[in-house]
Structure 1
Amino acid sequence: MRNFDFSPLYRSVIGFDRLVHLLEAGQGNGGYPPYNVELVSEHKYCISIVVAGFTDSELEITANDNILTVKGDHRHHQNEKNYLYQGITDHNFECKFQLAEHIQITGANLENGVLYIHLQHVVPETLKARRIEIK
């Protein structure tokens, strides 16, 4: 995984340090399973997680207190195989993602061994910017 230097952001954006620490904390998953976080449009995101060998019934997605958890659990191994070389891992996993406030999960789908989780940033009307008239 790549390491990014977020230090230039500390001096230009107030309050961004908390977000940077959350991003840096999320890099400790050991690299399995590999995933991407994509900005689809201004307020829409997609997390893509490689889950080769898992069926949709072996995957569990939960969201609780701004933490998105994705678990893969092979409930039954058909038979233990004697591999000469095993490059495709199939062990159970758990990934956790810290979500920002007002992020909603709009759906998920499994396609060709990749789990796509769709997210959207929905800002309540009370928090949107409004113009104040000067009298």
Structure 2
Amino acid sequence: MTKHTLGSYPHMLGFEQLERLLERTAKSGNEGYPPFNIEQTSDHSYRITLAVAGFREEDLSITVEDRQLVIRGRQHDDSADRVFLHRGIAARQFQRSFVLADGVEVGEAAMENGLLHVDLTRARPETVVQTIRIKKG
């Protein structure tokens, strides 16, 4: 079976960066924790919602690194002075990554009822028509 790349399609010029983004996304290793939703809130805006019950705002960090939204969580384990008869809620850390398209900007982030909401907006693309002059040879 032959692996096709975007470069193997003659009409797809200059999409090498997109191909690298797709490969990076496939290798990001996002596991299933924490669960999340992505919803479209308007024609040009989105909201990512992560279920982060047990995390405080100071336990979470949100960064944009090389067109990639990275959300990290690290709970402080304060169980040293506590005795658990059953421990089903573990303090665990996570990292979730989302690759952002050109023009997508991260807006506000808010915590509400154990959910972290991160709002994204996409700039409306300008319609550009360019006429190329043909030189006489």
TM over 0.5: yes
Q: 1:95 corresponds to which letter in structure 2?
A: R
Instruction: Give the corresponding residue for 2:134.
Output: none
Percent identity of paired positions between Structure 1 and Structure 2 = 31
Instruction: Give the corresponding residue for 1:129.
Output: 127
| Larger Rg over CA atoms | 2
1:103-131 CA deviation, whole Å, 9 max, x = no partner?
Answer: 011110000110000000014xxx51146
Q: TM-score, normalised by structure 1?
A: 0.70
Tell me which stretches of 4 or more aligned residues in structure 1 moved more than 3 Å.
20-24, 130-133
Aligned CA RMSD, in angstroms, stands at 2.8
Contact 1:69 1:95 survives alignment (8 Å): yes
**Residue segments in structure 2 that go unaligned for 5+ positions in a row:** 1-11, 132-137
Instruction: Give the corresponding residue for 1:50.
Output: 51
Q: TM-score, normalised by structure 2?
A: 0.69
1:70-106 CA deviation, whole Å, 9 max, x = no partner?
Answer: 01011x32225535351x4430111111011110111
Instruction: Give the corresponding residue for 1:84.
Output: 86
CA distance in 2, matches of 1:30, 1:68: 16
What aligned pairs does 1:59-74 form with structure 2 within 5 A after superposition?
A: 59-74=60-75
**What count of residue pairs does the alignment treat as equivalent?**
114
CA distance in 2, matches of 1:121, 1:82: 47
Q: 1:54 corresponds to which letter in structure 2?
A: F
What aligned pairs does 1:1-135 form with structure 2 within 5 A after superposition?
A: 18=19, 21=22, 25=26, 28-74=29-75, 76-80=76-80, 81-84=83-86, 86=88, 88-123=89-124, 128-130=126-128
